[in-house]
């Protein structure tokens, strides 16, 4: 598998696979966000998901793939720090604002900032049409968040504002980790070595927080079995979501892959409609169409 992935780098087949990985990651990430924002406290839900990620990734990292060497350990420390900051921002955002408000803001800020970071730090070149496409995509996503915010009850506005601030920070951190992870996975000879150690080392923090919160509460949360099931399913989805986009950035341009991944907002809207019973008016449908158009423009150049 590793040799096959490496052989596709810089090829048309690799670029097509990067697109497929990005779209698959988009669907998985929308599901992952909905699971974290579901019936349980977002901190507990993310802790349960990370706990299962540790359990599932540890045997592969420790006994199957090579261990990081020398400078690679420092690279992994950077990965841990960035993703911890991102997870804290997301948990705080989900604690104070609705999924349909938080998620579009995070995903709207991310692609435009990623385009800037990838051009500045990875030396990738993008034509004006691609910059325009990302601007359309990001603007439409942020307008979608504005519509959701405007539909909230007035007493909830203060909490929503705090949630939006954390969501904006989360969006910037998405750009940071997307760019950094793309550099890191390209740095290591074997992409699956990076992925195995990524999932293990970035998943140790929230289970510790989960344990602390349970000890402090001196009781298990209600429906602990449902929380564990949510954690297991979320871990499997996370492997597809984060693993898919990182493999995609190894095979394709970072901002192109990141922009396609932000079509997760469309999948999130579908989840809201089909699962949560939310309805979309003409304005929301138009904005979702602009999101799709922006993603197409990024790939058309």
pLDDT of the chain, 301 residues: tens digit per residue? 788 888 888 899 998 999 999 999 988 988 887 776 666 677 788 888 999 999 999 999 999 999 998 999 999 999 999 999 998 998 888 888 777 677 778 877 878 788 888 888 888 888 888 888 888 888 888 887 777 666 655 546 677 778 888 988 998 998 899 999 999 999 988 899 999 999 999 999 988 887 877 777 666 666 678 888 889 999 999 999 999 999 999 998 888 888 888 778 778 777 767 776 666 677 777 877 788 788 777 776 5
pLDDT for 40: 63
pLDDT for 301: 58
Prediction pTM value: 0.83
pLDDT for 101: 73
pLDDT for 18: 92
pLDDT tens digits along 214-229: 777 666 666 678 888 8
Written as one string, the DSSP assignment of the chain is: -HHHHHHHTTSHHHHHHHHHHHHHHHHHHHHHHHHHTSSS-HHHHHHHHHHHHHHHHHHHHHHTSPPP-THHHHHHHHHHHHHHHHHHHHHHHHHHS-HHHHHHHHHHHHHHHHHHHHHHHS-----HHHHHHHHHHHHHHHHHHHHHHHTS-GGGHHHHHHHHHHHHHHHHHHHHHHHHHHHHHHHSS-HHHHHHHHHHHTTSHHHHHHHHHHHHHTSPPTTHHHHHHHHHHHHHHHHHHHHHHHHHHHHS-HHHHHHHHTTHHHHHHHHHHHTS-----HHHHHHHHHHHHHHHHHHH-
């Amino acid at each position: 598998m590793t040799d096959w992935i490496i052989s596709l780098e810089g090829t048309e087949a690799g670029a097509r696979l990067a697109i497929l990985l990005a779209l698959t990651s988009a669907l998985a990430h929308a599901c992952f966000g909905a699971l974290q924002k579901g019936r349980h406290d977002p901190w507990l839900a993310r802790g349960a998901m990370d706990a299962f990620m540790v359990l599932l990734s540890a045997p592969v990292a420790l006994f199957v793939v090579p261990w990081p060497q020398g400078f690679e350990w420092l690279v992994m420390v950077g990965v841990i720090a960035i993703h911890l900051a991102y997870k804290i921002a997301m948990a705080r955002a989900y604690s104070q604002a609705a999924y349909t408000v938080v998620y579009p803001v995070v995903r709207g800020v991310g692609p435009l900032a990623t385009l800037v970071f990838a051009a500045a730090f990875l030396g990738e070149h993008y034509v004006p049409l691609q910059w325009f496409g990302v601007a359309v995509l990001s603007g439409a996503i942020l307008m979608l968040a504005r519509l959701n915010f405007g539909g909230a009850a007035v007493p909830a506005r203060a909490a929503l504002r705090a949630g939006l601030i954390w969501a904006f920070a989360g969006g910037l951190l998405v750009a940071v980790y997307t760019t950094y992870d793309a550099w890191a996975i390209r740095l290591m000879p074997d992409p699956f070595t990076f992925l195995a150690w990524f999932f293990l080392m970035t998943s140790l923090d929230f289970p510790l927080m989960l344990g602390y919160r349970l000890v402090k509460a001196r009781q298990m949360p209600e429906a602990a079995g449902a929380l564990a099931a949510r954690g297991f399913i979320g871990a499997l989805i996370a492997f597809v979501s984060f693993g898919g986009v990182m493999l995609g950035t190894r095979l394709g341009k970072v901002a192109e892959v990141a922009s396609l991944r932000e079509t997760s907002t469309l999948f999130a809207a579908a989840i809201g409609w089909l699962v949560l019973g939310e309805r979309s008016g003409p304005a929301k449908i138009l904005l979702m169409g602009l999101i799709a158009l922006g993603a197409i423009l990024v790939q058309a150049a």
